[in-house]
Structure 1
Amino acid sequence: MGLKLFIKDNWSLVVFELFIVLFILSVYWLDGFRNINTAIYTIIISLILTVSYLGVRYFFRHRYLNKITQLPFTMEDALQKNAKSPEHFQTEQFLQELYRVYQHEVQALYATQTRHEKFLNQWIHQMKTPIAVLELLLQEDGPLDKNSVQEEVERLRRGLEMVLMNARLDKFEDDMQVEQVNLKQIVNATINDNKRLFITNRVFPETHIDEDLTVASDSKWLKFILGQFITNAVKYTFEQNKRIIVSATKNESKVTLTVKDEGIGIPKSDLTRVTKAFFTGENGRKTGESTGMGLYLAKEICEKLGHELLIESEVGVGTTIILTF
């Protein structure tokens, strides 16, 4: 197979060499040389040189030709290095790099698929709780407790929003629309969306943001990020009558948004890992409701939007989340 491929690859060289021989003989003939021995000598020398060149060329190429004419059973078979010419060496380097890129894309795709499957399984398991509570409320005699129903519906809504945002994250660029966003309006809208959560936990929000302060961001994704910060702040504030303080300051070309709570805080051992996927830590095990995806999604969205996210915390004092635009 290697020799057959070599002949196919070099047949044009043989035809060209025959053309050169005929051209030289024609020049001899037109110049008046009628000696047949000279013509035969020219043909023989040309053939010897051509065959010698092709033989040496095939010697250096036969391993490479045999390699590419036999289908590999494993990737290691295809990536064996046996090039003996600059062209083949460059070809093998190209294949090595192509395989590295392919492996990177496959691993990224596998990681994304695994993350989606794990998150979906965990989310479905957690959504069973509010559904079970709603079923129990419906089975009770007497008037329906609307506040309890509303609370469970809010839990379902927040869960659905998170799984939807997780699904959209892979096509973030197609869904992104950066514009000048009024920061106070976004914060107030997020707080209003979670007002029942504040009332239920008896935690009070405070905002200190200028009316005309704007930032370049995507309003929908920014609202989701703030929602994660605020719900976490409320969820991990176990004592009543505590505050969630949201403030913003502008310093030259940067705007800094701070969400500060007076909750239980995050242990130092967990602080560097709270933005990793599915990490719940000590606090997550205390509530039993954490998916470990809220801060992970928030961090991923911040990176895609070009916002800087910093988390500071002290156990027993509270947590401060700093978002820099």
Structure 2
Amino acid sequence: MKLFVHSHLSLIFLTFVQGIFVFGYYWFLGFQSLDHLFYVFSIQILTTCSFIAYRWIQDKKIYDWLLQNNSNEEFSVPHFGNSQFAEALSEKQTVQTQMLINKFQQVQTDLNERVTFINQWVHQMKTPLSVIHLMIQENDDLIFQNIRKELYRLEVGLQTVLYSSRLSMFEKDYTIEKVLLQNFISEIIKENKRLFIQYQITPLKLFPEQGIFVFSDKKWLQFAIGQIISNALKYSNQKSKLNFKIESFEEHIVLEIQDFGIGIPPEDLKRVFEKYFTGVNGRLNHESTGLGLYLVKEIMNKLQHEITLESNAGSGTIFKIYFTKFTLANIEHSNG
């Protein structure tokens, strides 16, 4: 109603000015009977009010639509009313909406094709990498250790590209399941056994005796933890340790990954999860892309896990992943 009144203020003002003019005109002509003058003035006001009321009835739906928050609605064209202005607006809105839908569908198609191409390309690149691994697996000379390091960097890069492209369609590519956390972390450590040896980093498991179960997507969680390990290996000193600690609290299960590397400067701590942010360490290491920890944060958000980090320059970094103690039924209900 407020918007409607504001849009008709000029008409109301014009009617008032016109009424004053007519009142003054008849007064100076000698028609000084106030009853007649107020009658003419009242007829003019009544006519204007009737017109405004008619316009309000005709265009009310338009003003209601303008004041609605349509940000979360799908593309649709509401019925604006039967006035010529409403019909013209509805027709224009229909054309614009259809153009927008067509453009959106084209962008979505292009995105799907690009993701499909990237997935196929990454899988094609994995084949020669696997062949090279098989060719050098029995050789532990220094040159072959260096080759394994380079292969590891290639694999991490390919994984980053793959999961970055899939992230936009995460809802179609995840499965929540019950995961025995101790076994899960042990498998990740075992898969990276040669790398720990080559980087001279000792993985230390600080696990409770009883089995700790969490609910998550193993594939996405493994990639996220792999990115944290990759960062730890990249920025840790040789003959150092990488601690994996699991603790169970009243509401959360916490996985703590602690390295004893160069750490993160205080000025970078608040931005390490930002996309493409490399920070001081990244500028010293020209291989940094600023995508790894960004993807970790995004994946944790989508999996409904909280992640934090603590770090001091020169004394290492601690990542903590918090798993809420849910039942499988709770998680399926929240995602449904």
Please classify the TM superposition score into its range, dividing by the shorter chain length: 0.5 to 0.7
Partner of 1:92: 66
CA contact (8 A) 1:264 1:317 kept: yes
What is the percentage of aligned positions where both structures have the same residue? 37
Q: Secondary structure at the match of 2:264?
A: coil
Unaligned runs of 5+ in 2: 1-46, 76-99, 133-140, 324-336
Q: Using a 3 Å threshold, how does the CA distance of structure 1 residues 162 and 98 change in structure 2: closer, same or farther?
A: closer
How far off is 1:176 after superposition?
1.0
Q: Number of aligned residue pairs: give it.
A: 223
Distance 1:56 1:88, change over 3 A: farther
Structure 1, unmatched stretches of 5+, are 1-54, 65-83, 135-142
**Partner of residue 147, structure 2:** 149
Letter in 2 for 1:213: I
- Partner residue in 1 for 2:220: 221
Note the 1:9-158 alignment, pairs <5 A. Answer: 85-94=59-68, 145-158=143-156
Choose from 202, 205, 229 the match for 1:204: 202
Aligned to 2:189: 191
Write out per-residue CA displacement over residues 211-246 of structure 1, whole angstroms, 9 at most, x where no aligned residue. Answer: 611111111111111111111111111x22111101
> CA 1:260–1:58 in 2, change beyond 3 Å: closer, same or farther?
same
Matched with 1:80 is none
- Is the 1:151–1:196 contact (alpha carbons within 8 Å) kept by the matching residues of 2? no
Secondary structure at 1:192 match in 2? helix
SS of equivalent to 2:271: coil
- More off after superposition, 89-98 vs 162-171: 89-98
1:311 aligns with 2:327: no
Aligned residue for 1:9? Answer: none
Partners of 1:85 and 1:259 lie apart in 2 by: 62
Q: Is the 8 A contact 2:145 2:198 kept in 1?
A: no
Q: Secondary structure at the match of 1:249?
A: strand
* Structure exhibiting the larger radius of gyration computed from Cα positions: 1
The 2-side partners of 1:311 and 1:300 are apart by 15
Q: Match for residue 269 of structure 2?
A: 271
Contact 1:183 1:209 in 2 (8 A): no
CA deviation profile, 1:74-108 (whole Å, cap 9, x unmatched) = xxxxxxxxxx8533311333487589999xxx8xx
For the aligned residue pairs, the C-alpha RMSD in angstroms reads 3.8
> Could you tell me whether the CA contact under 8 Å between 1:280 and 1:291 is conserved in 2?
yes
TM-score (norm. length: structure 2): 0.58
Q: How far apart, in 1, do the equivalents of 2:272 and 2:166 lie?
A: 21
Superposed CA deviations along residues 150-171 of structure 1, whole A, max 9, x for unmatched, are: 2222211111111111111111
Distance 1:59 1:276, change over 3 A: same
Q: Tell me how far apart the structure 1 counterparts of residues 305 and 70 of structure 2 sit (CA, whole Å).
A: 36
Q: Matched residues in 1 for 2:154 and 2:300: separation?
A: 25
CA contact 1:311–1:320 (8 Å) conserved in 2: yes
Deviation, 1:290, is 0.9
User: What CA distance in whole angstroms lies between the structure 1 residues aligned with 2:310 and 2:72?
Assistant: 42
- 3-state SS of the aligned residue for 2:283? helix
Q: Secondary structure at the match of 1:291?
A: coil
Letter of the 2:243 partner, please give it.
Answer: I
> Residue 248 of structure 1 aligns with which residue?
246
Task: Render the CA deviation track for 1:265-311: whole Å, top value 9, x for unaligned.
Answer: 10111001000111000111122111111111111111111111011
Does the C-alpha gap of structure 1 residues 293 and 197 become closer, same or farther in structure 2, counting only changes over 3 Å? Answer: same
Q: Hey, what does 1:171 align to over in structure 2?
A: 169
d(CA) in 1 for partners of 2:271, 2:208: 33
